[in-house]
Every structure is written in structure tokens, then in C-alpha cells.
Structure 1
Amino acid sequence: MLRRNRLKNKAIAIALLMLAAVIYNEFSVYDIQKLKWSVQECSECVKVLIVADPQILGEKNENYFGSWLAQWDSDKYLEKTFSRALDHSDPHVVVFLGDLMDEGHISSAESFKSYKRRLDSIFQMPDHIMKIYIPGDNDIGGEEDAVSSNINNRFNFAYSQPDTLVYKTVTFFKVNRLTHTMPEAPKDAFLNDYAERNTTNVILSHMPLLFMPGTFVQNVLKELSPQIIFTAHKHKAMHISLDTATDQLSEIWVLPPYETPLYRLRMDVGDIHELQIPTCSYRMGTPHTGYGLVYIDTQEKVVEFTILWLPGRFPQLWLYVFVGIFILAFSICTCISSYCIKGHAAYNRMSSI
């Protein structure tokens, strides 16, 4: 009877340990990280949440035993982190900076539809939020292979919207360095007189711009006169400033991982600021993932931004491994101990006879 109670208590202890690991890994770690994020209250600003390089896993490159589990876990990680970032930031605009899919550029029409359904399921948000989508090289090609016009048209049809979008006093221009296309500037915008106007021009580009100057970039800056640029692709968090008076980069700095201050930039001093946003997927080979959060105050001509750094998923998966090894070792020791006790009891009975 005593031995049965001991076994029952050990089983309960193992179950509680497993439950604690699941609760921490799948719920608590995200809520704990959320407490570290910065937030700003502003009545006049435009709040922008930026999603870069989610690259949901595909079917061709992820063709191995257990790939369905990797895909499911990656999707769940994105869903959990995005829902918390959305709740934390309460944005007016959500921008997707390309590379939505890992295999969009090589997928069939049917697979592309399936990937889009998964994306819509992962990144759910209310209808009143403006959503902006731009393609990346993994969506339409352009890095290791040429951009296919059919694939590019397919993406544009799936995410049909103008290349120029306006929310209150902020104008968003969608620029595609992969296809060397950009929207025309509004004819009555007087873009070069920004200091006298109550507007902010924002360029959205998957590929970095200021780091790779050229004729196309020069035309973009001249025609659209941006104050700030949001880019992705490099899976890093960086800030680059271009001094328009000298046409030289004046500042380059990497945002420290897991530090979450609100950085403040002036938009009326003649500089163009580019913010590179890190990937939000833990499958992209970098330990530092996050979402961008930007507050644009056109009236004060100020931009404040931060990175909502995310908890690493691989440490959580390793925790499952360690817990599993501990439970296995504990179970083996328990079985051996139980077997030895039974053998000892049988030996005692035989001796007494």
C-alpha cells in the first residue's frame, strides 16, 4: 500500500513538472516578455506596428520527417507573439515588409493560396486597422533568381491595394527595389516643402535603400522626399541616417537586442532616417527577433520607435528536451528501484521458508 502511494505521488510530480513546462513555454514566457516592452501614449500620433520577414515555412524545402510539427510550431510562435504585440501597441496601421512566405516565389498557385490562408489565420486583426503589404524576394523572387512577372502579379492580386496609402497626416509609399518600381508622387503634394506642411512621407521597402545607393535610390529620394524609411531583409535592427545636405550617411547604429527604450528622431533637421526591422520568425537563423513599433507625430515632427523583442523559441524547445530527459531518467530509476525492492521482498520470503 505504501509503495502504491509512493508511485502515485511520483506520477503526480511528473505530471506537475510537465504541466509547469508547458505553461511557462507556451504562455508565461510571452506575457513576461510583454512586460518589458515600451509603450507611448499619444493622442495625435499615428501608431505603426511593423512585421518583417515572417517567412512562414513551405512544403518543398521543409520536406523531412516531422516537418509538419516544425511548421505548426513556427506558425503558433508567430501567432502568439503577434497577438501580444497587437494588444500592446493598439496600432492604427500594420505594415508587412515582405518575405511573408518562405517559398512564395517557387510555389504553385494552389500552394500560394494555402500559404495566404495560413498568414491570414496567424496575423488576425480587427478590420478598422489599416493593413499594408509589400512583397519580398521570397515572395516574388529577385535575389538569387529573377523576378517573374506572373509571380509578382499573383502577389499584387492577392494583396490588391494602391502603392500610395494615406492615414491621417502620414503618406505611405510602397517602393519595390526588386522590380525597380515606385509610385508617382502626388502632383499637389509640395513634397520638398515638408517643413511648412503638416505631413509625413514614409517609404516602405523590403530591401534596404540607404546602404545600397544607386540611380534607383536617388530617384526614390528625389521624387518622394521621405522623412523616414522602413526596410527589412537583413533580419537585423538598425538605424541609418542620411544627411541630405552632404548626401552622406551621418549615423549608423545597431539597436541592442532585448533593450526596449523609445528612441526619438527629429524629422525637420534635413536628415532621412531608415529603420531596418528584424525578422519576427525564430526560424531565420538569428537569435534576436522582434516587431517594430513606431509613433509618428507629424505636428511635432518627431518619430519615436522601439523594437518589441521576442523571447527565443529554441531555449524553450531545449527546456522540453531537458524535462523529457529528466522524466525518462527518473522513470528508469523508479523502475529499477521498484524491481530491486520486489526482488528483495521475494528473497526474504524464500529465506523465511
Structure 2
Amino acid sequence: MIRRNRTRHKVYFLSVILGIILFYNEFLVYEIQVYKWSLRKCTDCVVVLLIADPQILGYQNENYKGSAWAIWDSDRYLKNTFSRAIRHTKPNVIVFLGDLMDEGHIASTEDFEKYKRRLANIFDTSDDIMKIYLPGDNDIGGEEDMVSSHIHNRFNFAYTQPDTLVYSTATFFKVNRLTQLIPSAPKDAFLNDYAERNITNVVLSHMPLLFMPGTFVQNVLKELSPQIIFTAHEHKAMHISLDTATDQLSKIWILPPQETALYQLRLDMGDIHELQVPTCSYRMGMANVGFGLAYIDTQEKTLDFTVLWLPDRFYQLWLYLFSLGLVIIFSVFFICGICKNNHIAYSRVPI
């Protein structure tokens, strides 16, 4: 009886440990991370949430044993983090900076539709929030292969919207370095005097621009006159500034990982600021992942930017492996104990 009680207590203790690990990994760790974010209130700002390179896993490359679980876990991680970002930032605009799908450029029509439904489920938002979608090289090709016009048209049909969109005091231009697309700018988008501006020009591009200069970049700057550029693709957070007076880069800075400072940039000093947003998917092989958050204040001529760094999912998975090891060790000792107790000793009978 004593031994049974001890076993029962051990099972109860192990169950409590497993329950705590499960609660921490699937709920508490996300809530703790939220309190590390730098948020602010701004009644006159345009609040922009930036989603870069989610690259939801596809079915062709993920064809190993356990791939269904890997896809489910990756989607669930994105959904858990995005829902908290929406709840706490309350954005006016959500920008998807490309590479929505990992295998969009090679997907069949049937798979593409499945990926689109999964994305809609992961990034579920109300209709009153403006959503802007850019294609990346994993969506339409262009890096390791050529951009397919058919695949590109399929993406544009799935996410039909103009290449120039306006929300309040911010004008967003979708440029595409892969296809050399530069949208036409409305006349009131151009600036002559920063002090008199009442519109902020924002260029959106999947591929980096200022760090990779060329004729295309020169045309973007000349035709769209942006003060802010948001890009992705590199899977890390960077700030690059171009001094328009000298036409030289004045700053190249990698934002420190896991630092949650709110960086303020002036928009009336003659500089063009490019902010690269890190990937939000832990499956991209980066140690630090997150969402970008920007407060665009046209009246004050400022941009406040921060990265909403996300929990390390691999650390959580290691915790699960550790707990699985505990269960295996306990089970082995438990079974050995039962076998020992059930052992029958025989004694020699005298003849």
C-alpha cells in the first residue's frame, strides 16, 4: 500500500510538471513577451503593423515523417503571435511584405488555394483594418528562378488591390524589384517643402532598396519621393538612411535583437529611411523573429518604429523534449518496479 501511494504521488508530481510546461509553452510565454513590447498611444498617427516573410510551409518540401505536425505547429505559432500583436497594437494598416508562402511559386492551383485559406485563418482580422499584400520571390519566383507571369497574375488575382493606397495622411506605394514595377504617383504625393507636408509617402518593397542601389532604386526615389521605405527578404531588422543632399548612405544599423526600444526618426531632415523587417516565422532558421510596428505622425513629421520580438519556439520545443525524457525515465523505473514486485522466488524442495 505504501509503495502504491508513493507511485501515485510520483505520477501526480510528474503530471503537475507536465501541465506547467504545457501552460507556459502554449500561453504564458506569449503573454510575458507582450509586456516587453514598446507601445504608445497616438491619436493622430497611422499605426502600421508589418508582417515579413511568414513563408507558411508547403507540402512539397515538407514531405518527411512528422511534416503534418511541423506545418500545424508553425501555423499555430504564427496565429498565436499575430493575434496578440493585433490585440495590443490596434493597427490601422497591416502590410504583408512578401513571401507569404514558402512554395507559392511552385504550388499547383489546388495547393495555392489551400495556402491562401491557411493564411486567411492565421492572419484573421476585421474588415475595418486596411490590408496591403506584396508578393515575394517565394510567392512568384525571381530569385533562384524567373518570375512566372502566370504565377504572378495568380497572386495578383488572389490579392486584388491597387498599387497605390491611401490611409489618412499616409500614401503607400507598392513597388516590385522582381518585376521592375513602380506605380504612378498622384500629383499631391510629391513633396517640395517638408515643412508644408501633410502627406507621408511610404514605399513598400519585398526586396531591399537602398542597400542595393541601381537604376530601379533611383527611379523609385525620383518618381515617388518617399520619406519611409519598408522592406523584408533579409529576415533581419535593419535601419538604413540615405542623405538626399549628398546621395550617400548616412547610416546602416542592425537593430539589436530582443531590444524593444521605440526608435524615433525625423521625417523633415532630408533623409530617406529604409527599415527592414525581420521574418516572423521561427522556421526560417533565424534566432530572433518578430513583427514590425510603426507610428507615422505626419503632423509632427516623425516615425516611431519598434520590433515586436517573439518567443523562441525552439526553446519551447526543447522543453517538450525534456518533459518527454522525464516521462520515459519515469515509465522505465515504474515498469522495472512492477516487474521486481511481481518476481516469484522458488525454493528447492528436499527429496
TM-score if structure 1 supplies the norm length? 0.96
Residue 11 of structure 1, CA deviation: 1.9
Per the alignment, residue 59 of structure 2 pairs with 59
Say if 2:172 and 2:203, in contact at 8 Å, map to a contact too: yes
Residue 341 of structure 1, CA deviation: 4.2
3-state SS, counterpart of residue 283 of structure 1: helix
Residue 350 of structure 1, CA deviation: 10
3-state SS, counterpart of residue 64 of structure 1: coil
C-alpha separation in 2, matches of 1:154 and 1:279: 24
Is the counterpart of residue 43 in structure 1 residue 43 in structure 2? yes
Q: Which residues in structure 2 correspond to 1:127-146 (within 5 Å)?
A: 127-146=127-146
The gaps in structure 1 that reach 5 residues or longer are: none
Deviates more, 1:2-11 or 1:142-151: 2-11
Residue identity in the other structure for 1:111 = D
Per the alignment, residue 191 of structure 1 pairs with 191
Per the alignment, residue 238 of structure 2 pairs with 238
Q: Which residues in structure 2 correspond to 1:198-347 (within 5 Å)?
A: 198-343=198-343, 347=345
C-alpha separation in 2, matches of 1:284 and 1:193: 42
Say if 1:93 and 1:130, in contact at 8 Å, map to a contact too: yes
Deviates more, 1:10-19 or 1:79-88: 10-19
C-alpha separation in 2, matches of 1:258 and 1:266: 23
3-state SS, counterpart of residue 5 of structure 1: helix
Per the alignment, residue 156 of structure 1 pairs with 156
Per the alignment, residue 81 of structure 1 pairs with 81
Say if 1:245 and 1:270, in contact at 8 Å, map to a contact too: yes
C-alpha separation in 2, matches of 1:201 and 1:349: 94
C-alpha separation in 2, matches of 1:6 and 1:310: 41
Number of matched residues?
A: 349
Residue 190 of structure 1, CA deviation: 3.6
Per the alignment, residue 110 of structure 1 pairs with 110
Residue 347 of structure 1, CA deviation: 4.7
Residue identity in the other structure for 1:58 = G
Residue 74 of structure 1, CA deviation: 0.2
C-alpha separation in 2, matches of 1:100 and 1:37: 24
3-state SS, counterpart of residue 191 of structure 1: coil
3-state SS, counterpart of residue 257 of structure 2: coil
C-alpha separation in 1, matches of 2:347 and 2:45: 84
Deviates more, 1:325-334 or 1:87-96: 325-334
Residue identity in the other structure for 1:64 = Y
Per the alignment, residue 169 of structure 1 pairs with 169
Deviates more, 1:180-189 or 1:201-210: 180-189
3-state SS, counterpart of residue 80 of structure 1: helix
C-alpha separation in 1, matches of 2:220 and 2:190: 15
C-alpha separation in 1, matches of 2:169 and 2:188: 15
3-state SS, counterpart of residue 187 of structure 2: coil
Residue identity in the other structure for 1:102 = D
Say if 1:53 and 1:233, in contact at 8 Å, map to a contact too: yes
Is the counterpart of residue 179 in structure 1 residue 179 in structure 2? yes
Listed one character per residue, the Cα deviations across residues 90-131 of structure 1 (whole Å, up to 9, x for unaligned) are 101000000000000000111111100000000011111100
C-alpha separation in 2, matches of 1:139 and 1:162: 18
Residue 199 of structure 1, CA deviation: 0.9
Say if 2:189 and 2:201, in contact at 8 Å, map to a contact too: no
C-alpha separation in 1, matches of 2:150 and 2:22: 44
C-alpha separation in 2, matches of 1:339 and 1:3: 14
Residue 20 of structure 1, CA deviation: 1.3
Residue identity in the other structure for 1:236 = K
Residue 342 of structure 1, CA deviation: 4.4
Residue identity in the other structure for 2:231 = T
Say if 2:171 and 2:189, in contact at 8 Å, map to a contact too: no
The gaps in structure 2 that reach 5 residues or longer are: none
Say if 2:189 and 2:199, in contact at 8 Å, map to a contact too: no
Identity %: 67
